[in-house]
Chains A and B, each alone.
Chain A
Amino acid sequence: MKKLGLVLLTLLMSATIVFAQSGTVTLRWAYWGSESRIKRSQQAIDLFMAANPGIAVNPEVSGGTGDHFNKVDTQIAGGSGPDIIQMGGNINDYVKKGVLLPLDKYVGAILNTSVIDPSAIESGTIDGHLYGVSTGVTMPALVYNKSLLQRVGAPLPKVSMTYEEFRAYLVSLKSKLPAGVYPMQDIGALSSNSTPFGYWTRYNGTPLYRAAASSTAVTAAAAQKYFELFKDYRDNGLVPPPDVAAGFAETNADTSMVIAGKAVIGFMWTNQLAGYQAATKDELELIEFPGAAATKALWQAPSQFYTVNKYSKNPELTVKFINFLVNSPDAAKVLGNDRGASASATARAAGSTNVNDQKVLDYLSVSGPHSSKETDHVPNDTEFNSTLYLIYQKVAFGQISPAAGGQQVYDLIVRLIKK
């Protein structure tokens, strides 16, 4: 009887030990993405888990940036934020609110930054601390429908043009296109219009924001010129009238005027090319914003960042996982260019190409030399985009003059910097 009790006790104890050992640490990785990104990310997770027994990674994936940030904000406010947070152009706002972990002390030992492009590291560095590791590089670009041009017998555009050449090209297109099809979408009518506008301010040497000095170089007159540029296009039928333009939110392929076949030229980020191409049988190609060659006004930006929640219970393991994602050749192979063309030399060496990736790489090789360091984002990124959109529409619909619009944009930027 005693013996049996002893056996039972040992069994029980060994069971406890086994269970204690098998208690794995789970890292929570919040990102946005769709089917293909989820598959690729899971393959990377599987590789990591195979190499690191005892660590599990739970992907908390949402279908888009809106859903993602609603969820993450609520989770952080509720005291249960994820360990890894995928971040976009709003990274500065999250740093300012003190919810992200500075990664400086992990650099070297856990996070190998020596193989990552210095510019990518720089863009994740805010107020002197590294907060975000770039997932890959992307660039603003104009996209055009090559098949449509060939069907109407119009010449294809040059990759690099001046604003004069560009306007002349649009005019030449107009005469060839059937009614209801426009040479270009009114790219101020996008909800992410801070990018085309941001380009214009860089082109004029009046960048939107300098974080170090908390100031803007934009003037009301500079913004006014932007409105006048597009007013000229609009008045001459080079871009659609405001109510037609507003019918396409340009948030994705489903609301894209180019995909709908109603405009030849539109705006996108290079990492969106594959997604847009998948929504049409026509062939899409990329060209630069006008005037980039002379002014180097284009820029490369991290398409997204991996950041770490300040309250993560396992910061070291989390950083280790991020290091795996950005630097491991194995991870690079399964992740591909889905989050942008990789910024890590070791990852890029793994290489993998398809037609769309090749188009992007070709574009990057031309535009890379036509770009310079990214301008800091205006604080309160979402509000800036949303309000700029409203002001732009007021001008487009003729409710206010370009001069008044310029003034409102200037006031907006000043207000957001102070907010």
Chain B
Amino acid sequence: MKNRTARRISAGISNFIIIVLGVGMLYPVVWLIMASFKESNTIFSDPALIPKAFTLQNYARGWKGIGIVGFGVFFKNSFIICGLSVIANVIFCSLTAYAFARLRFVGKHFWFAVMMMTLMLPTHVTTIPRYVIFRSLGWIDTFLPLVVPKFFATDAFFIFLLVQFIRSLPKELDESALIDGCGKFGIYIRIVMPLTMPALITTVLFTFLWTWDDFFNQLLYLNSPAKYTVPMGLRLFVDSSGMSSWGPMFAMSVLSLVPCFVLFFSLQKYFVQGITTTGMKG
């Protein structure tokens, strides 16, 4: 009885701390949502949080997109690019990470250092030579330059992430599997993949979110408006030398957060206790 009360009190304190901190976190998104219901000509001139007049106009106009291509098309394109990127990163980054974390081979430290180095060069200076490569392949104005590199595990961030997670798995696990007659690939599929589930979920999540936001590459490689993506579409509402549509921009910004919310909310439940070593050993 006493124990239960103590637990309730401790849960209450936790909830309280979380909520107080959370109000600060929530403010921006509330502001963004409110702005999306304001009339364009009041967003920057009227500082009040709550709009004086609610309007759905922004959503209606925003969804029509840039007049020649609707915003739905931008969503579709972004989904295709993000979906393919997620699949590619989960498979190929984890394969590479497994090799670096668990396998023995000549030149391992060298290649690992090289892999880390690819993270350290600012991408702005490799933009032009990369563009030349993709142009010589005839891939300009297609999704290929945005997606194909992920099938070659070029996102070193996730390799390093998975390396760290795989290395922290108890080694006895694969030793016992080796005894059971599993090959390297068997260990990868049957032991490493399931046990690093939280890290793989993280990879899925971050790949999606970061690809969803990756404006610069999409700007460079996509030329036809029908192939434009969500972040490109958002930028097209705003132009300093002409008419900007702030209302529709904020409305579509809110809408573009929805897939991210949904994905995050549905994936976070997979952050569950991953390993039960006793079960494996038994």
B213: min CB distance to chain A, Å: 15
List A residues 143-157 near B (Cβ within 8 Å): none
B89 on the A face (CB < 8 A): no
A27 to B140 alpha-carbon distance, docked (Å): 15
Closest to A281 in B: B41
B30 on the A face (CB < 8 A): no
A282 to B220 alpha-carbon distance, docked (Å): 38
The secondary-structure label for the interface of chain B is loop
Q: Are B243 and A38 in contact (CB under 8 A)?
A: no
Q: Are A65 and B240 in contact (CB under 8 A)?
A: yes
Which residues of chain B are within 8 angstroms of A338 by Cβ–Cβ distance?
242-243
B245 on the A face (CB < 8 A): yes
B44 on the A face (CB < 8 A): yes
Q: Are B225 and A279 in contact (CB under 8 A)?
A: no
Q: Please choose the segment from A206-214, A226-234, A255-263 that sits at the chain B interface, where 4 or more of its residues have CB less than 8 A away.
A: A255-263
Q: A70-B219, A279-B41 are in contact. Are A64 and B240 (CB under 8 A)?
A: yes
A266: min CB distance to chain B, Å: 13
Q: Are A74 and B239 in contact (CB under 8 A)?
A: no
Q: Are A34 and B140 in contact (CB under 8 A)?
A: no
List A residues 247-305 near B (Cβ within 8 Å): 251-254, 256, 259-261, 269, 271-272, 274-275, 277-282, 303-304
A14 on the B face (CB < 8 A): no
Q: Please choose the segment from A76-84, A115-123, A164-172 that sits at the chain B interface, where 4 or more of its residues have CB less than 8 A away.
A: A76-84
Which residues of chain A are within 8 angstroms of B245 by Cβ–Cβ distance?
34-36
Q: Are A65 and B241 in contact (CB under 8 A)?
A: yes
Which residues of chain A are within 8 angstroms of B237 by Cβ–Cβ distance?
34-35, 63
A254 to B131 alpha-carbon distance, docked (Å): 33
Q: Are A42 and B45 in contact (CB under 8 A)?
A: no
| A42, A64, A77: the one within 8 Å of B239 (CB) | A64
- From B42, B232, B244, B246, residue with most partner A Cβ within 10 Å: B244
Q: Are A272 and B241 in contact (CB under 8 A)?
A: yes
Q: Are B132 and A279 in contact (CB under 8 A)?
A: no
A28 on the B face (CB < 8 A): yes
Closest to A63 in B: B235
A248: min CB distance to chain B, Å: 10
| B45, B128, B224, B243: the one within 8 Å of A77 (CB) | B128
Closest to A80 in B: B135
List B residues 131-189 near A (Cβ within 8 Å): 131-132, 135, 140
A62 to B242 alpha-carbon distance, docked (Å): 13
Q: A71-B220, A79-B135 are in contact. Are A303 and B128 (CB under 8 A)?
A: no
A70 to B232 alpha-carbon distance, docked (Å): 14
B277 on the A face (CB < 8 A): no
Q: A60-B223, A67-B235 are in contact. Are A274 and B243 (CB under 8 A)?
A: yes
Q: Are B239 and A79 in contact (CB under 8 A)?
A: no
Contact digits for A50-72, partner B, Cβ 8 Å, 1 yes 0 no: 00000000111111110100110
Q: Are B41 and A278 in contact (CB under 8 A)?
A: yes
Which residues of chain A are within 8 angstroms of B240 by Cβ–Cβ distance?
64-65, 251-252, 272, 275
Which residues of chain A are within 8 angstroms of B66 by Cβ–Cβ distance?
34-35, 38-39, 61
A36 to B68 alpha-carbon distance, docked (Å): 10
Q: Are A279 and B43 in contact (CB under 8 A)?
A: yes
A304 to B67 alpha-carbon distance, docked (Å): 22
A330: min CB distance to chain B, Å: 18
Q: Are A39 and B68 in contact (CB under 8 A)?
A: yes
| Interface size band for B | 35 or more
A58 to B44 alpha-carbon distance, docked (Å): 34
Q: Are B236 and A280 in contact (CB under 8 A)?
A: no
| A35, A82, A256: the one within 8 Å of B44 (CB) | A256
Q: A74-B127, A80-B140 are in contact. Are A34 and B239 (CB under 8 A)?
A: yes
A312: min CB distance to chain B, Å: 15
Q: A64-B235, A338-B242 are in contact. Are A259 and B225 (CB under 8 A)?
A: no
Q: Are A32 and B241 in contact (CB under 8 A)?
A: yes
A151 to B223 alpha-carbon distance, docked (Å): 48
Which residues of chain A are within 8 angstroms of B238 by Cβ–Cβ distance?
34, 63-64, 252, 254
Which residues of chain A are within 8 angstroms of B198 by Cβ–Cβ distance?
none
A225 on the B face (CB < 8 A): no
- From B42, B236, B237, residue with most partner A Cβ within 10 Å: B236
B229 on the A face (CB < 8 A): no
Q: Are A61 and B45 in contact (CB under 8 A)?
A: no
B132: min CB distance to chain A, Å: 5
| A62, A65, A252: the one within 8 Å of B244 (CB) | A252
Q: Are A62 and B44 in contact (CB under 8 A)?
A: no
Q: A59-B225, A275-B244 are in contact. Are A33 and B239 (CB under 8 A)?
A: yes
B57: min CB distance to chain A, Å: 13
A271 to B68 alpha-carbon distance, docked (Å): 23
Chain B residues at the A interface, C-beta cutoff of 8 Å: 40-45, 66-68, 127-128, 131-132, 135, 140, 216, 219-220, 223-225, 232, 235-246, 248
Chain A residues at the B interface, C-beta cutoff of 8 Å: 28, 32-39, 42, 58-65, 67, 70-71, 74-75, 77-80, 82, 251-254, 256, 259-261, 269, 271-272, 274-275, 277-282, 303-304, 338-339
Q: Which 7 A-B pairs have the closest CB atoms?
A: A63-B235, A39-B67, A34-B239, A78-B131, A252-B240, A280-B45, A36-B243
Sample (7) of A-B pairs whose CB atoms are under 8 Å apart: A34-B239, A58-B223, A70-B220, A77-B128, A254-B244, A259-B45, A274-B242
Known A-B contacts: A35-B66, A36-B242, A278-B40. Give 10 more (CB < 8 A): A34-B66, A34-B245, A35-B243, A75-B131, A78-B140, A259-B45, A277-B41, A279-B45, A280-B45, A338-B243
